[in-house]
Chain A
Amino acid sequence: MSGLSIQMPKGKKHFYQRITVLLCVTILSIVVIYAFFYLRHDPTLTNLDSRLFGMSLQHPLGTDQLGRDVLTRLLLGGQQTIGYSMLALFVALIIGVPFGLISGYKRGLLDRVFMRICDSFLAFPDTIVAIVLSGLLGPGIGNLVLAIVLVKWVNYARLVRSTVLSESQKDYVLIAHINGLSSSKIIRKHLLPHVVGHVLVLASLDLGKIILLISAFSYIGLGAQPPIPEWGSMLNESRPYFESRPELMIYPGVAIVGVVLLTNMVGDYLRDYFDVKKEVRE
Chain B
Amino acid sequence: MILSVEQLSISSREKKIVDNVSLSIREGEWYAVVGQSGSGKTLLSQAIGRMLSPNLHAEGKILFNHEDLLSLSPKQMRTIRGEKLSYIFQDYQGSFTPFRTIGQHFEEYQIAHGIHHAKTRKMIAMEALDSVGLEESLYTRYPFQLSGGQLQRASIALALLLSPDLLIADEITTALDSVSGHRVLELLAKRQKETGCAILFITHDWRHVRRYATRLAVMKDGEIVESGGKHRILDHPQHEYTKQLIQAAPTINRGLPSGLEEAGSI
**Alpha-carbon distance between A9 and B98 when the two chains are bound, in angstroms:** 20
Return chain B residues, CB-CB under 8 Å to A108: 54-55
User: Which stretch in B83-91, B116-124, B185-193, B241-249 binds the other chain?
Assistant: B83-91
Interface of A is mostly: helix
Contact call B93/A3, Cβ cutoff below 8 A: yes
Interface assignment of A7: CB less than 8 Å from any CB of chain B: no
Contacts A171-B95, A172-B97 known; A178 to B51 CB distance under 8 Å? yes
> CB-CB contacts of A168-194 with B at 8 A, as 1s and 0s?
001110111111111001000110011
Report yes or no: A3 in contact with B144, Cβ–Cβ below 8 A.
Answer: yes
Which B207-256 residues have C-beta < 8 A from chain A?
A: none
Q: Which of A2, A5, A174, A182 contacts B112 (CB 8 A)?
A: A182
Known contacts A170-B94, A178-B87; A5 and B108 CB within 8 A of each other: no
Tell which of A108, A172, A182 has the most Cβ of chain B within 10 Å.
A172
Say if the beta carbon of A41 comes within 8 Å of chain B: no
**Most chain B beta carbons < 10 A, residue from A2, A174, A194:** A174
The residues of A that contact B79 with a CB separation of less than 8 Å are 180
Contact of A177 among B81, B90, B94, B100 (CB under 8 A): B81
Please pick, from A2, A3, A178, the residue contacting B82 in the complex, using a CB distance under 8 A: A178
Q: How many pairs, one residue from A and one from B, have CB atoms within 8 Å of each other in the complex?
A: 76
Contacting residues of chain B (73-114) with chain A, CB-CB under 8 angstroms? 78-83, 85-87, 89-91, 93-100, 108-109, 112-113
**A107 interface hit (Cβ, 8 Å):** yes
How far in angstroms is the closest Cβ of chain B from A209?
A: 30
Does B143 belong to the interface (CB within 8 Å)? yes
B178 on the A face (CB < 8 A): no
**A4 is contacted by which of B51, B54, B98 (Cβ under 8 Å)?**
B98
**B residues within 8 A CB of A194?**
99
A175 lies within 8 A of B95 (CB): yes
CA A180 – CA B158 in complex, angstroms? 12
B53 interface residue (CB < 8 Å to A): yes
Contacts of A107 in B (CB 8 A): 53-54
Interface size bracket, A side: 20 to 34
Take A2-B144, A172-B97 as given contacts and tell me if A181 and B112 are in contact as well, using a CB distance cutoff of 8 Å: yes
Residue of A with least CB distance to B49: A178
With beta carbons under 8 angstroms apart, the residue of B54, B82, B96 that contacts A180 is B82
A193 touches B89 (CB 8 A): no
Interface centre among B79, B82, B90, B145 (most CB of A within 10 A): B82
Across the interface, B97 reaches (CB within 8 A) one of A2, A182, A190, namely A190
Are B99 and A193 within 8 A (Cβ)?
A: yes
Closest B residue to A170 by CB, please name it. B94
Residue of B nearest to A108 (CB): B54
Interface centre among A4, A171, A176 (most CB of B within 10 A): A171
A174-B51 contact given A2-B144, A5-B144, A179-B81, CB 8 Å threshold: yes
- Assess the A177–B112 pair: CB atoms within 8 A: no
- Give bound CA distance, A5 to B113, whole Å: 31
Of the candidates A2, A178, A180, A189, the one whose C-beta lies within 8 Å of that of B100 is A189
- The contact of A171 among B49, B89, B109, by CB within 8 Å, is B89
Shortest Cβ gap from A131 to chain B (Å): 41
A185 with B99, Cβ < 8 A, contacts A3-B144, A5-B144 known:
no
Q: A2-B144, A3-B144, A180-B81 are in contact. Are A174 and B108 (CB under 8 A)?
A: no
Complex CA–CA separation, A268 to B53 (angstroms): 37
Residues of A within 8 Å of B53, CB to CB, are 107
Report chain B residues within 8 Å CB of A3.
93, 98, 143-144
Contacts of B143 in A (CB 8 A): 3
CA distance A171 to B98 in the complex (A): 11
